[in-house]
Amino acid sequence: MVGVSADIPNTLEAFTKTNNIKHLLLSDFGRKMLPAYGAMVTDEKSPIYRYAKRAYFILDRQGIVRWVRVQANPLDLLNADEVLKALKESGA
């Protein structure tokens, strides 16, 4: 599992330590990956233009996206059981 954020690496490092996170968090501060996966607000008229969306992706070992969920509200978290079910069903 890998997390991706628009925050700078130093912020992610501090967040990881403070919250005892065990998985890798990557920075997309340059915002290259987020829009490519539809995980960034791209409407220039939006007050949150270029903000990252909360999104979940399951990729197989070849890097093919097998499952996607992009949340309309970044405060909405998925239930871990829902993600595990999607992982099992994806065959990834």
pLDDT for 5-16, tens place per residue?
Answer: 999 999 999 999
Write out pLDDT tens, residues 21-75. 999 999 999 999 999 999 999 999 999 999 999 999 999 989 899 999 999 888 8
Q: What's the confidence (pLDDT) of residue 88?
A: 92
Can you list the pairs that 13-21 forms with residues at least 24 positions away whose Cβ atoms lie under 8 Å?
none
Listed by start position, the domains of the chain span 2-83
Backbone angles phi, psi at 17, to 5 degrees: -70, -45
For the domain spanning 2-83, the CATH number is 3.40.30.10
